[in-house]
Amino acid sequence: MYHFDVRIGYKGKAAPHFHYIAAIGKYAAKCGVVHVEHGNMPLWAAANPSLYWEASDTYERANGTSYWEIEVALPRELPLPIQLNLARQLASEVCGKKHAFSFAIHHAKASDGGLNPHVHLEFSERIQDGTERSISTFFKKADHRVPERGGCRKDRSWQAVTRGRQKCGAEASDRLLEIREKWAHMCNKALEEFGTETRVDHRSYADQGVDRVPQPKVGASSWHLYRRTGIKNVRYQRYEQVINANQLQARIVQLEASSERLETQHQLIHDQLNQLKKQRPLIRSLNDVISELLPQTVSGKARLRDIGLARDNLKAARQRHERYSQITNSPLKWRNIMEKLRCFWEHGTEEGEQMLVDEAEQALEQAQASYDSLFEIAKTHSNLVARANQIIKTEIQAHRAWQQELNSLHQSLNDINDELEPINVELDQLSPVIEALPFRPTLH
């Protein structure tokens, strides 16, 4: 979960807050503080960083800012050494070498019962320019003409852009937005190198396109009130309502994704089923297979060749007879006298032409009868029958495999329908529930 919170502490608050995050002084009994570290402290506070925050409370002007704090969530998937490295990266990015800082890593208990690792980075907006100053001079107003006479100037890049007394739209400075994004990249790089798929995102839910209500902060007082007395104040009730709405929406998104995935699978299998039905293998009879094998034998090839020659002769005889009839039946004219004489010379009489056609038809019938006779013999030929039965057996096996695949696809469709039914029922039940919540995401 991504959490990045920025706070400003006014005069009188820096030292008490440092004591809290470092678990010292009256907070010495506080549990869960696993590491405290400091950096960029001036010489007079190097040995005792607490002195810096006490001096900030003492010498900063009235109503002035004595410290800034960034509180960020550390990925709970990472071990402490990597979390510590991330905290140091954050301090380096925010403070560089010029801003005094203290940070503490806390391992608290989260509301879900798991670990809530986070870091408090308390830093000063005073920019150290390399000039050593006394405690009283350090927090004075900066002198731009003679810097060593004045205090360290303040870094205003963290403040929202202003024009006169009017804020220019943005609720946060560009510097703050930049750090927010860089912190997300730091965490994601560490998570990737550690080998986990978890990632964080600094963008708002709206910018991410996520239908979820931003989770409000309960606050320590509301949380401890509930844990001590069981009383849920307004702030805690709103927190619970948002959590419930987000959980319901997350469930709806999960169900819709599952439904879409199953619908896609259903359509894909349905298309496969239709295509498979068009590819139904045939199981032929023994006669059909032998009629296919016979032309492959020597005798079969010979008989088919005879049938082919007989058909060609019949075709030629019919064409000859038709040509003869056209010429002889046409009126006698000067231009066709020679053609008629040549026809009588080459063809003879009508009876002779018809006799040639009849003889060709008889020859074709005899060739076909010879092939049919060979087919009857082939049906009792052991080798040919054995080959035909083997082919039929293969076709039967192919048909069985096709039928099994068909049944499997039908079963897959039934299984998907069985999965879709409870999903659709739950979606129908959840939609009006989330619509009735006071805090609810926008449903697509």
List pLDDT tens digits, range 295-304: 999 999 999 9
What contacts 115, CB < 8 A, 6 or more positions away?
76, 107, 108, 109
Here the tokens at position 390 are 């083997």
* Closest to 117 (Cα-Cα) out of 76, 159, 153: 76
Here the tokens at position 234 are 């307004």
* Closest to 385 (Cα-Cα) out of 393, 279, 192, 299: 393
Q: Please state the domain extents for the chain.
A: 4-202, 286-400
Residue 163's pLDDT is what? 45
Instruction: Give the Cα separation of 236 and 231 in Å (integer).
Output: 9
Residue 50, Cα to own-chain centre: how many angstroms? 50
Here the tokens at position 284 are 């032929």
Percent of the residues in the chain that have a pLDDT greater than 70, as a whole number: 88
- Assess whether pLDDT exceeds 70 at residue 285: yes
> What are the backbone dihedrals phi and psi of residue 97, each rounded to the nearest 5 degrees, phi first?
-110, 10
How sure is the predictor about 234, in pLDDT bands with cuts at 50, 70 and 90? confident
Amino acid at residue number 165: R
- The alpha-helical segments, DSSP class H, found in 163-233 are 174-194, 205-208, 220-229
* Closest to 6 (Cα-Cα) out of 123, 156, 126, 167: 123
Q: Apex CA 199: angle with CA 172 and CA 83, to 5°? A: 80
Greater confidence, 354 or 87?
A: 87
Residue 327's pLDDT is what? 65
Instruction: Give the Cα separation of 89 and 74 in Å (integer).
Output: 12
Residues 49-78, mean pLDDT to the nearest whole number:
93
Here the tokens at position 212 are 């979820």
Greater confidence, 207 or 100?
A: 100
Instruction: Give the Cα separation of 190 and 194 in Å (integer).
Output: 6
Residue 282, Cα to own-chain centre: how many angstroms? 43
Q: In terms of CATH architecture, what is 4-202?
A: 2-Layer Sandwich (3.30)
Instruction: Give the Cα separation of 213 and 118 in Å (integer).
Output: 22
Residue 440's pLDDT is what? 54
* Closest to 412 (Cα-Cα) out of 273, 247, 258, 292: 273
Here the tokens at position 282 are 């045939």
* Closest to 282 (Cα-Cα) out of 402, 378, 379: 402
